[in-house]
Structure 1
Amino acid sequence: MRWPWQTVETRSAQSFIALASLPSAGWGSHDASALMRDGYAGNAIAYRCVRMIAEAAASIPLTTNDEDVGALLARPSPDEAGRVLLERLYGDLQITGNAWAEAVTLAGEAAPKGLFGLRADTIRPQTNSEGGLIGWAVRKRRGERIIYREADGWSPVLHLKLYHPSDSVMGLSPLAAARKALDLHNGAAAWAKALIENAARPSGALVYDGEGAGLTPSQFDRLKEELESAHSGAANAGRPLLLDGGLDWKPMSLSPAEMDFAGTRHAAAREISLAFGVPPMLLGIPGDNTYATYKEANLAFWRLTVLPLVHKVADALSVWLSGRFDDVEVRPDLEDVPAFSGERDALWARLEAASFLTTEEKRALAGLSQ
């Protein structure tokens, strides 16, 4: 059985109505380069979500129980501060679902002396015949280099990733999950731009009311060229159209579906922000806001999106660096984070009112050193 819209149906010559087959929708690719191009560099909502998460997460300092590790995290390379490296790692995680950092060790030394971020679009995994990860291939200007594990099993490359249910090596990014919403938002923006370029209003129809069979091919070509050169584009909006030879202009208004493109863009923007875990209220997206105040939305953003990401990276750094340092523990320092100041004040007030606790117990519950 064939559905009516799957075939081309032509009515009689008196009605001039035709049903054309509907084109299938095409969605963008999920590879790292496409997500960087269409998402981070080509969509304002996705760009702002990535920047907000990366900058907020990088603003939380990481502390450690090892002085050498603390110095390495504070100054991972001669030309880069620790916050810049962390911001890059957090940003890559949001865009591609993966982030890589390489540890550089000097000859004759065991402990790394530098940490360098690797571009997410230049890395591919090296696997054995059984699908197990054995190293990473890094593309260079000419060729590529392979980074394998060292003799004791420690990898000079730290691979951070977001959970992917069907891939044990690579991660799944929020942009990939929101790919259809991203394409809808970009497509709606392209439609609005095309509308502005085409006289900043919907097009119309030229109706031939003259006698005879219609316009000759030369007349048709001349009319088409005149319309494109003198009556298309935002600069020509409102220019009067001089018609002769039995031609009449019939303007066409926007259909309700076309008028709903703005609503479609807002719905797609909310879905993109939902994939990242950024409340739409923080992005200025109109619509139903689930938070009573901006303060509640901001606190939810820090507590539900930023903080779990920082803990994830801190735990990964602890495990990775423990392979070259003794029992390293990296943890976030939340004392100077303004978003949590209200929670700290409430905690201190409860501890102050707890008369059954000693001073040492109160300091321990507050997370302060003895």
Structure 2
Amino acid sequence: MLSAFRLPFRRAFRAGAPDQAKAAVGPRAGVSVMVSGLGARGTGRSYAALSRSGFLGNPVAHRAVRLVSEAAAAVPLLLYRGLPQQGARELTGHPVLTLLARPSSRATGTDLFETLYGHLLLSGNAYLEPLFLGARLAELHLLRPDRVTVVEGADGWPLAYDYRAAGVSRRIPAEGEPQPILHLKLFHPLDDLTGYAPLAAAHNALDLHNAAAAWNKALLDNSARPSGALVYQPKEGGNLPPDQYERLKAELEAGYSGPLQAGRPMLLEGGLDWKAMSLTPRDMDFTDARNGAARDIALSLGVPPMLLGIPGDNTYANYQEANRAFYRLTVLPLIRRTLASLSGFLSDAFGDMLTLQPDLDQVEGLSAERDALWTRVGAADFLSDEEKRQAVGYGD
């Protein structure tokens, strides 16, 4: 997929590619052979571009997206009738709990939520379509964001959603009884209809990290040396003959490229001189640049760099504090905003006031906080047993 966000010099090169390419390889007096070279390529902000260059092609983005989506999908859910802050009653046996545990014949509840959170992180949008058998909500299915187009009405609000798959397009109305689709989206300051992907904010860092990895690999493939040129400087004028030019290129590719040829001295004939044409890896300081880009990628997704093993980040005193901050600042806000929308959607489908909440007592990353709370409440002799239960989040 060609990206619209290429670097300016990349566009300039492509604009005059035929003539420039011909001039670069032709036999001339002066620069005769360009050795190595690694072009930069920008990553677009679309779901497909971020998925390919980020989740599928970058280890930091891949691990960070999986860390958030898997942690959020693993948090158990509680179902209440009514609002918890208004004395709602917890429901332990309800069709909603059965549906969320097995939303379809092809997926479990964990599969559904992990994919949903992944869509939000890579697209900023998630589309949940219900399947009704008569009046009963039987299944829930996620639609891939890049296959959905929001149809804007005359008033600026969503009118419908066009879904394309297997060469067929169908239109899903935005409103109806029951609600035909649930559109979950993250905040986008410049778009009223769709959300903004968190990973898109780090697309420059993603490009830098991927380019640094490609550079290091190319450096290894080219005998661990930077780009340069062989300059032909004859004493009595003239050009390098075409047959000698082709022989020189073949010898360079066969005898001086690849990791097995690392350190091999180059033999130059009369009139040939090597001129380095780029900074050394030490000057470009790739290690710090890659670590800085990795931190930006992790921070855009709300993952403390310490959890990903990225050096140079001492924000938290230890791993436990970083993990607790990860749940408090990233996982739980994402879960709560998702469950708020899902609660309203399911309430309309079942004709009842239902509220979904995360079960924080079973979140291992917050166990230290719960232990400290129970210890403080248990030691409060001035509270009754009923008040203590309410203080730790339990009903009467």
Scaled to the shorter chain, the TM-score interval is: 0.7 to 0.9
Paired residues in the alignment total 345
Alignment pair present for 1:82 and 2:109: yes
Q: Which residue of 2 aligns with 1:158?
A: 182
Q: CA deviation at 1:361?
A: 1.0
Match of 1:180 among 204, 207, 217: 204
Contact 2:179 2:349 in 1 (8 A): no
Following the alignment from structure 1 to structure 2, what is the Cα–Cα distance between the partners of residues 256 and 113? 58
Q: Which residue of 2 aligns with 1:98?
A: 125
Q: Which residue of 2 aligns with 1:144?
A: 169
Match of 1:39 among 45, 49, 54: 54
- The residue type paired with residue 186 of structure 1 is N
Contact 1:97 1:173 in 2 (8 A): yes
Q: CA deviation at 1:203?
A: 4.4
Could you tell me the TM-score, scaled by structure 1's length? Answer: 0.87
- The residue type paired with residue 225 of structure 2 is R
- Percent of aligned pairs sharing the same letter: 51
Q: CA deviation at 1:148?
A: 1.0
Following the alignment from structure 2 to structure 1, what is the Cα–Cα distance between the partners of residues 45 and 144? 17
C-alpha root-mean-square deviation of aligned residues, in Å? 2.3
Alignment pair present for 1:323 and 2:338: no
Q: CA deviation at 1:84?
A: 1.0
* Residues 1-370 of structure 1 aligned to structure 2 (within 5 Å): 27-65=42-80, 67-106=94-133, 108-109=134-135, 111-149=136-174, 151-152=176-177, 154-206=178-230, 211-213=235-237, 215-247=240-272, 249=274, 254-255=279-280, 258-325=283-350, 326-370=352-396
Q: CA deviation at 1:302?
A: 0.8
Q: 1:258–1:197: structure 2 CA closer, same or farther, 3 Å change rule?
A: farther
Give the 3-state SS of the residue equivalent to 1:105 in structure 2. Answer: strand
Higher RCO by CA contacts (8 Å cutoff, separation 6 or greater): 2
Contact 1:62 1:314 in 2 (8 A): no
Q: CA deviation at 1:28?
A: 2.6
- The residue type paired with residue 277 of structure 1 is G
Contact 1:266 1:286 in 2 (8 A): yes
Following the alignment from structure 2 to structure 1, what is the Cα–Cα distance between the partners of residues 62 and 202? 13
Contact 2:41 2:207 in 1 (8 A): no
Following the alignment from structure 2 to structure 1, what is the Cα–Cα distance between the partners of residues 148 and 368? 42
Give the 3-state SS of the residue equivalent to 1:178 in structure 2. Answer: helix
Q: 1:288–1:341: structure 2 CA closer, same or farther, 3 Å change rule?
A: closer
Contact 1:57 1:87 in 2 (8 A): yes
Q: CA deviation at 1:261?
A: 2.1
- The residue type paired with residue 227 of structure 1 is L
Q: 1:208–1:32: structure 2 CA closer, same or farther, 3 Å change rule?
A: closer
- The residue type paired with residue 53 of structure 1 is V
Contact 1:280 1:289 in 2 (8 A): no
Following the alignment from structure 2 to structure 1, what is the Cα–Cα distance between the partners of residues 52 and 250? 35
Could you tell me the TM-score, scaled by structure 2's length? Answer: 0.81
- Residue by residue, what CA displacement relative to the aligned partner does 1:27-61 show, whole Å, maximum 9, x if unpaired? 43211111111111111111111000000001101
Following the alignment from structure 1 to structure 2, what is the Cα–Cα distance between the partners of residues 248 and 129? 69
Runs of 4+ in 1 over 6 A off after TM superposition: 250-253
Q: 1:252–1:136: structure 2 CA closer, same or farther, 3 Å change rule?
A: closer
Give the 3-state SS of the residue equivalent to 2:67 in structure 1. Answer: helix
- Residue by residue, what CA displacement relative to the aligned partner does 1:162-201 show, whole Å, maximum 9, x if unpaired? 1011111100111111111111111222222221121222
Give the 3-state SS of the residue equivalent to 1:186 in structure 2. Answer: helix
Following the alignment from structure 1 to structure 2, what is the Cα–Cα distance between the partners of residues 204 and 151? 65
Q: CA deviation at 1:88?
A: 0.5
- Residue by residue, what CA displacement relative to the aligned partner does 1:330-364 show, whole Å, maximum 9, x if unpaired? 11111111111111111111111111111111111
- The residue type paired with residue 31 of structure 1 is S
Contact 2:75 2:359 in 1 (8 A): yes
Q: 1:263–1:303: structure 2 CA closer, same or farther, 3 Å change rule?
A: same
Give the 3-state SS of the residue equivalent to 2:357 in structure 1. Answer: strand
Q: CA deviation at 1:102?
A: 0.8
Q: CA deviation at 1:135?
A: 1.6
- The residue type paired with residue 123 of structure 1 is V
